[in-house]
Amino acid sequence: MELRTKLKEYAAAKGWHFVFGRRDYQNLYEVREWIQDEFKPYGEGVTIMFCDEYKRQRDGDYIKYKGTFMVLTLSSLDESYDDKREKYISPLELDLDVMHDRLECLYDIESWESEAEVNFFDLNADGAFVYYNLKIHK
């Protein structure tokens, strides 16, 4: 099954909105404004998974995928870092661990690295940025 479909299914199961596309198409204007516009229809507490187009490489009997995505939750301006960490970031990190384990059933995960994001671009959006390298036997 295509990687994009698996990521979208996981986002839907978590109740997250899913945005997929090439970075240059997503960033036709300032990335900050673009992300802000994606959150505009929703209120505090909504989560969006922004998934960049991945690189797909055929390597012998394997297909390799290399890419990034971020999962952000809209938070309140009045919350402290500790509150944001406890309420938004830590639960997302646990969700990403589960996502890793589910993907590991289908793909060989060569690397999976996440980085916490707090108040991303001053938008009061908190979550994590993920870098991954996966491969699957064809």
pLDDT at 5: 93
Let me know: does 66 contact 57? Beta carbons within 8 Å: yes
Residues 94 and 131: their CA atoms lie apart, in Å, by 16
Architecture of domain 3-137: 2-Layer Sandwich (3.30)
Radius of gyration from C-alpha coordinates of the chain? 15
The dihedral through the CA atoms of 38, 22, 98, 126 has a sign that is: negative
Please state the domain extents for the chain: 3-137
pLDDT at 31: 64
pTM (two decimals):
0.85
pLDDT at 78: 84
pLDDT at 32: 65
Helix boundaries (H) for 31-114: 31-39, 81-84, 90-104
Residues in the chain with pLDDT values less than 50: 28
pLDDT at 28: 44
